[in-house]
Structure 1
Amino acid sequence: MGSEITELLRSSSNDIWSRILNHPFVTELFNGSLPINKFKFYVIQDYNYLITLTRCQAIIAAKLEDPQVMRTVLELALADVSTELENYNKLLNRLDLRLEDIIKTKPSPTNTAYMNFLLDTCTLGTPYEGLVAILPCYWTYLEIARYHAGRLEANPVDVYRDWARVYLSP
């Protein structure tokens, strides 16, 4: 990530990072052995999470005083609500999932708890507390994609390969 503080945070939590990077879901997804139903469940949960993330970004932006930082957060929200969700709509079609059904699907208890944490932090906290709360999503996905990038070409499941490549693109 680059700065001294992020390097310090990253190195002080190597055990957590190792568990994330080597989680069975992640390794199975990148090597192509993940059962498709697990991936579909994840996609449904993640779609609902992305809607909440976009709401959080809007809340954070509304609280910011600095117009440049506000603009950056709003651009992030726009990218998530347009590009990211557009990619998900294509993914849903490939997985024979319908957006209408996903919207009606109740998020899992774990996803609900995480989304509530983010909304509470962004609503009740400072904008910078909100930014800190949403940072792990971006950081973790980038680290996971980089760590497992070498496995993608050998991954026999096109939909997994295509999904993961998104997180390696600039």
Structure 2
Amino acid sequence: MTFTEELRKENEDIFSLIFEHQFVQGIGRGDVSKEALTHYVKADYEYLNAFMKVYGIAISKCASREDIAYFNQRIDFVLNSEIHPHNNFCEQIGVSYEELQGFSLPPTADHYIKHMLYHAQSGTLGEILAALLPCPWTYFEIGEELIKQYDPSPEHPFYQWISFYAERRVEDTVVVMCERLDKLAEVASQEEKTKMKEAFRKSCQLEWAFWEMAFTCEEWITKKGVSVNEKP
């Protein structure tokens, strides 16, 4: 069993909870509320901005041009391809993508980003990949699960979102990330592998929490009540 196969097996509980989450199942049924979709896009836009910055930090730790090129390709994918599922949600909300950009982060998204940045700044390339991998991996499997459960037609309101994450290039992203992480794990100390496993599991847990954050429209609490997610 490879290192990433171990990771997937050890985190089956979290993956299953993600597939069962009300927001994820709502995508499959096509009935997610506009409020939840709006909250998701606002947070995910900023999350993906941070994701690209973590890739940039990974580049600064690379020893070869091959590794630099790999992370540069990943930045390009997030920057130019992952706008498509966001636009699908925006079409259902009835607002432009630009209108949902630049908002402050809800608590869970803020924590998730800081979790990734912590491993990027203080950890090895193995830790960075372990912290990043659950995002594309869970989304790819969500796409697969929703196709199996709902077999959406092109008329389904979230057909574009589901088909995007279930397609081959997202699967290839996961496969290549797993291969790279497996190679790093082969030469890693037991201490480093433990840190990689901890980073991976926490990211899985935060993936579930991100869906919950969007579904409940989570906001920061203040003495006067819940604050509104506004542009800073």
Q: TM-score under structure 1 normalisation?
A: 0.86
Q: How does 1:122-141 map to 2 (within 5 A)?
A: 122-141=120-139
Stretches of structure 2 that go unaligned for 5 or more consecutive residues are 169-232
The residue aligned with 1:62 is 60
The residue that corresponds to 1:97 in the other structure is 95
Q: Secondary structure at the match of 1:81?
A: helix
Deviation of the 1:141 alpha carbon = 0.5
Q: In structure 2, what is the Cα distance between the partners aligned to 1:88 and 1:21? A: 18
Specify the alignment match of 2:46 in structure 1: 48
Deviation string, structure 1 residues 5-50 (Cα, Å, up to 9, x no partner):
2222212222222111111111111111222221221122111111
**Which deviates the most, 4-13 or 50-59?**
4-13
Choose between structure 1 and 2: higher helix proportion: 1
User: In 1, distance between residues paired with 2:66 and 2:106?
Assistant: 36
Deviations 1:123-149 (A, max 9, x none): 222222111111110111111111111
**1:146 paired residue number:** 144
SS of alignment partner, residue 133 of structure 2: helix
Residue aligning to 1:37: 35
Asked whether the 8 Å contact 2:152–2:159 carries over to 1, the reply is: yes
TM value normalised by structure 2: 0.64
1:114 aligns with 2:118: no
For this pair of structures, how many residues does the alignment match? Answer: 166
Could you tell me how far apart the structure 2 residues matched to 1:33 and 1:143 are? 20
When the two chains are superposed, the root-mean-square deviation of aligned CA atoms in Å is: 2.2
Deviation, structure 1 residue 91 = 3.6
Amino acid at match of 1:138: P
Which structure: larger Rg? 2
CA contact (8 A) 2:87 2:97 kept: no
**Deviation by residue 1:92-137 (Cα, 9 ceiling, x = unmatched):** 6523334554333111111011111112211222222111111110
Task: Give the direction of change, closer, same or farther, for the CA distance of 1:4–1:127 in structure 2 (3 Å limit).
Answer: closer
Give the SS at the match of 1:64: coil
Superposed CA offset, 1:39-70 (max 9, x none): 22112211111111011111111211122122
The alignment-based identity, stated in percent, is: 25
